[in-house]
Amino acid sequence: MTRIAFLGPRGTFAEAALRTMASAANAELIPAISVYAALEMVRDGLADQALVPMENSVEGSVPLTLDELSTDGGLVIVDEVVLAVTFALVVPRGVSLTSVARIATHPHAHAQVRGWLSANLPEVVVLPALSTAGAAEGLLDPERNYDAAVCQEIAAEIYGLDVLASDIGDTSDAHTRFVLVARDGVAPAATGADKTTLALYIHHDQPGALLAILNEFSVRGVNMTRIESRPTRKALGDYYFSVDIEGHISDARVAEALMGLHRVCLDVRYLGSYPRHDGKEPVLRDGVTDADFAEAQEWLRKLKGK
Query: Which residues between 259 and 298 bind a copy of itself (CB under 8 A)?
Result: 259-260, 262-264, 270, 286-288, 292-293, 295-297
Who's near 49: CB < 8 A, 6+ residues apart? 2, 3, 4, 5, 23, 42, 78, 180, 181, 182
78 alpha-carbon distance from chain centroid: 12
Instruction: Check residue 125 for interaction with a copy of itself (CB under 8 A).
Output: no
The single residue among 2, 118, 166, 215 that binds a copy of itself, judged by CB under 8 A, is 215
CA contacts within 13 A on the Cβ side of 227: 12
Cβ–Cβ < 8 Å for 137, 129: no
- Span near a copy of itself by CB under 8 A; candidates 21-29, 89-97, 159-167, 203-211: 203-211
| Contact letters for a copy of itself, residues 12-31 (x by CB under 8 A) | --------------------
Binding segment toward a copy of itself, per CB under 8 A, in 15-23, 94-102, 147-155, 258-266 = 258-266
Pinpoint the alpha helices (H) of the chain: 13-18, 35-43, 63-72, 107-120, 132-138, 153-159, 209-219, 252-264, 290-305
Residues between 34 and 53 that touch a copy of itself (CB under 8 A): 34
Range 83-122, binding a copy of itself (CB under 8 A): 107
Q: Residue 212 and residue 202: Cα distance in Å, rounded?
A: 10
Considering only 44, 185, 205, 279, the residue that binds a copy of itself (CB under 8 A) is 185
231 binds a copy of itself (CB under 8 A): yes
Question: Angle at CA 57, nearest 5°, toward 56 and 62?
Answer: 25
From residue 192, alpha-carbon distances to 175, 226, 285, 286 in Å are 24, 19, 15, 17
Q: Is 258 in the site for a copy of itself (CB under 8 A)?
A: yes
Of the pair 1, 291, the CB lying nearest a copy of itself is at 291
Q: Does 184 bind a copy of itself (CB under 8 A)?
A: yes
How many CA within 13 A on the CB side of residue 92?
11
Please state the closest distance from residue 160 (CB atom) to a copy of itself, in A. Answer: 25
State the nearest-atom distance from the C-beta of 79 to a copy of itself, in Å. 16
Among 2, 60, 160, 191, binds a copy of itself (CB under 8 A): 60
Tell me how far, at minimum, the Cβ of 162 lies from a copy of itself, in Å: 27
* Residue 175 near a copy of itself by CB under 8 A: yes
- Is residue 242 within 8 A of residue 227, CB to CB? The reply is yes
**Where does this chain touch a copy of itself (CB under 8 A) — which range of 3-11, 15-23, 42-50, 180-188?**
180-188
What's the CA gap between 3 and 26, in Å, rounded? 9
CB atoms < 10 A from the CB of 117, how many?
Answer: 19
Please give the DSSP secondary-structure letter assigned to residue 190. Answer: P
Minimum distance from CB of 97 to a copy of itself (Å)? 25
Q: Report the residue number, 93 or 306, with the smaller CB distance to a copy of itself.
A: 306
- For residue 231, whether the previous peptide bond is cis, meaning omega lies within 30 degrees of 0, is no
Contact residue for a copy of itself among 12, 56, 152, 197 (CB under 8 A):
56
Q: How many residues bind a copy of itself (CB under 8 A)?
A: 71
Nearer to a copy of itself, 99 or 297 (CB): 297
Q: What is the largest CA-CA distance in the chain?
A: 88
What's the rounded Cα separation, in Å, for the pair 104 and 129? 6
Residue 211 lies near a copy of itself (rule: CB under 8 A): yes
